[in-house]
């Protein structure tokens, strides 16, 4: 899958390619026995992902910071499909307090959990810290999903065990993981303002998404849990994610418009990895245009993944102690 395939939309080994839409890659799949959480499901490719999962009869929980947008997304799904099962719950991934409250509220619904799609994110932000004192792109894109996933793992394990249905976790990364700081992850300088680069900080957080998926995949395989964990690059799509660099992205789009996808195409790889039966048992992989791809050397570094896991857990633990 190279530039030629991206430009032409020619299908890869999976039978799908860059021109495939989320509806096309899930055609004929019955997800009526599945429950899925989609973070950032109120807009952009997250909303399209939630819509298509609901169209395939999954029970979808939209997790979003903006409840007005989340309720609007739910209403649009119901207008298209009155039998859709869609709930909305508030979630701010920049806040550990909010993440814990979300998990409590989800558990109160007494639903199973088969699919977790860690879709939400922010991009190219000016330097700022989260309410927990962590650089905001790293906090939102990685640490928030790291904590959320850990808090939901027991539910996913019990669901997989009780139903015999494979659980799936999908981390939305980006090809931007190739453009990060010199050491990949700046463990000792996560919050450093003077050397901060909004582009490299974003790349760092997207690299962390892949490393997180790979390390969690190894843990779950060793444990024998019936859950797969994969990461995806959705492609270049003009969404609200670009709000901090809208002018730059519009200029870039003008000169490279053939490389960009629309939103239904952008949600395709996520939906493919979350639902397609051909990926049963496939875990710890990186997907682009609905086909497996090789990520960067940093992304395949097991030592770096283990170091990131320990670092992330320490960050979460230290913030939890401050809360208490």
Q: Are 169 and 216 in contact (CB under 8 A)?
A: yes
Q: Are 268 and 16 in contact (CB under 8 A)?
A: yes
For the chain, the straight-line distance linking the first and the last C-alpha, in angstroms and rounded, comes to 49
Q: Which residues contact 307 (CB under 8 A, 6 or more apart)?
A: 185, 187
Q: Are 73 and 42 in contact (CB under 8 A)?
A: yes
- Pairing of β 115-118 and β 35-39: parallel
Of 273, 231, 286, 238, whose CA–CA distance to 20 is shortest?
273
- Rounded Cα gap, residues 90 and 142, in angstroms: 18
Handedness of CA 97, 103, 104, 105 (dihedral sign): positive
What is the DSSP secondary structure assignment for residue 287, as one 8-state letter? E
Q: Are 267 and 289 in contact (CB under 8 A)?
A: no
Q: Are 184 and 298 in contact (CB under 8 A)?
A: yes
Determine the number of helices (DSSP H) and then strands (DSSP E) in the chain. 12, 10
Q: What angle do CA 261, 265, 269 make, to 5 degrees?
A: 115
Tokens of 143: 């640490």
196 is catalytic: yes
Selecting among 181, 196, 257, 272, the annotated active-site residue is 196
- By annotation, the residues acting in catalysis are 196
């Amino acid at each position: 899958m190279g530039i030629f395939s991206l430009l032409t939309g020619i299908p890869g080994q999976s039978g799908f390619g860059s021109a495939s839409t989320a509806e096309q890659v899930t055609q004929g799949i019955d997800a009526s026995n599945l429950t899925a959480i989609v973070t950032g499901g109120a807009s952009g490719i997250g909303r399209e992902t939630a819509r298509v999962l609901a169209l395939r009869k999954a029970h979808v929980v939209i997790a979003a910071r903006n409840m007005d947008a989340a309720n609007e997304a739910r209403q649009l799904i119901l207008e298209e499909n009155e039998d859709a099962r869609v709930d909305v719950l508030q979630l701010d991934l920049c806040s550990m307090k909010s993440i814990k409250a979300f998990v409590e509220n989800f558990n109160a619904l007494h639903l199973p959990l088969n699919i977790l799609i860690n879709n939400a994110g922010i991009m190219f932000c000016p330097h700022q810290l989260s309410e927990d004192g962590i650089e905001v792109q790293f906090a939102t894109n990685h640490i928030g999903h790291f904590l959320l996933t850990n808090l939901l793992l027991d539910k996913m394990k019990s669901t997989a065990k009780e139903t015999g249905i494979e659980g799936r976790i999908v981390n939305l990364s980006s090809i931007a993981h190739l453009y990060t700081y010199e050491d990949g992850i700046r463990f000792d300088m996560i919050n450093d303002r003077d050397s901060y680069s909004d582009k490299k900080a974003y790349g760092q957080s997207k690299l962390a998404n892949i490393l997180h998926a790979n390390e969690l995949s190894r843990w779950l395989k060793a444990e024998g849990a019936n859950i797969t964990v994969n990461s995806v690059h959705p492609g270049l799509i003009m969404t609200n994610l670009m709000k901090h660099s809208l002018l730059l992205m519009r200029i870039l789009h003008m000169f490279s418009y053939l490389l960009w996808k629309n939103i239904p195409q952008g949600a395709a790889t996520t939906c493919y990895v979350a639902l397609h039966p051909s990926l049963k048992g496939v875990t710890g992989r990186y997907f682009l245009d609905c086909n497996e791809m090789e990520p960067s050397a940093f992304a395949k570094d097991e030592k770096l993944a283990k170091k990131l896991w320990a670092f992330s857990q320490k960050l979460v633990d230290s913030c939890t102690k401050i809360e208490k």
